[in-house]
Amino acid sequence: MQAALAWNNKALEVAPEDLDARVNRAILQVTIGMNDKAIEQLDEVLVVKQDHLRANVYRGLLAMNAGDFPKAVETLERASALTGGTDPFLTARVAEARQGAGMAPAAPSASGAVVAGTVRIPLELATKLAGTETLYLAVKDPKTPGPPLAAVKLPATDFPRAFVVSPQDILPMWRGRPLPAEVELVVRIDVDGDPMTKDDLASTTLTIAPGAADLMIDLK
C-alpha cells in the first residue's frame, strides 16, 4: 500500500486535479483506515463531477459503513442510474441502503428487461398472507421442457408489487441464446419458499412476447 500511495502521489503531482487519480487516492486512504480523509476526497470529486461513477460508488459504500444511510441512498442510486440500473451489485447495495434508511424498496428499472410489470392480489388473498411467503416469477420456453429460461424470487409482500425479470436473471445455461418469440410467464405465491413443493396460494401463467415492460398481473 505504501508503494501504491507513492505512485498515486506521483500521478497527482503530474495532474493534481485528475478525478480518477483522486478517487484512487480515496480508495487507498480507506485501505489504511483514513476513512474521513477518503470521504473528504470523494466529496470534492463529486462537487466537480457529480456523475463520476466510481466516486459515487465508493462514497455510498463509505456512507453505509458509517451508518449514514440517507447519503448512501443518494450516492448509490446515482451510481446505479449511471449504469442503467443493470448492475446487480449496485442494485443490492441500494436495497440495503434504503432498508437502513427506513425507506420503501425502489421501483425496479424495466430498461432492457426480459419482462416487467406489477403483480396485484385481491383483498381476500392479502388477508391470508403471513408475510413469510415467496413470490416466484419464471420465464419458460413453452416448447422446451425442463428448467426455466429466467427466474426471480421476491418476498410476497407490499402488493401491488413491481417486478423486473432482467437479463441477469437468465439462467447460465441459456445466456447468450436468443429468446423465443413467445414465452410463458409463471407467477405464483409459494407458502414455504421451496420452489419444488406444490403449496401455492395463488398462481397464473401468461403467454407473452419478451420485452413486455408494463404487464399488470392479477393473482387469484
Query: Where are the domains positioned within the chain?
Result: 2-100, 115-218
Site of grid cell 429460461: 149
- Asked whether 185 and 136 are in contact (CB, 8 A), the reply is no
Identify the three-state secondary structure at position 138.
strand
Residue among 107, 108, 71 at smallest CA distance from 86:
108
The pLDDT, as a whole number, for residue 107 is: 59
Site of grid cell 424470487: 153
The pLDDT, as a whole number, for residue 204 is: 95
What are the cell numbers at 92?
443490492
Residue among 188, 178, 181 at smallest CA distance from 217:
188
The pLDDT, as a whole number, for residue 175 is: 80
For the structural domain made of 115-218, what CATH number should be given?
2.60.40
Q: How far is CA 92 from the centre of its chain?
A: 5
The pLDDT, as a whole number, for residue 197 is: 76
The pLDDT, as a whole number, for residue 63 is: 96
Please list the pLDDT of the chain residue by residue as tens digits (220 residues): 889 999 999 999 999 999 999 999 999 999 989 999 999 999 999 999 999 999 999 999 999 999 999 999 999 999 988 887 667 788 888 889 988 999 876 655 555 678 988 999 999 999 999 989 999 999 999 998 889 999 999 999 889 988 889 888 889 888 878 888 899 999 999 998 777 777 889 999 999 998 887 889 999 8
| Residue type at 110 in one-letter notation | A
CATH 3.30.2320.30 fits 2-100, yes or no: no
What is the C-alpha to C-alpha distance for residues 195 and 203, in angstroms, rounded to an integer?
A: 13
Continuous segment of H or E residues that includes residue 200: strand 200-208
The pLDDT, as a whole number, for residue 194 is: 76
What are the cell numbers at 208?
407473452
What are the cell numbers at 148?
426455466
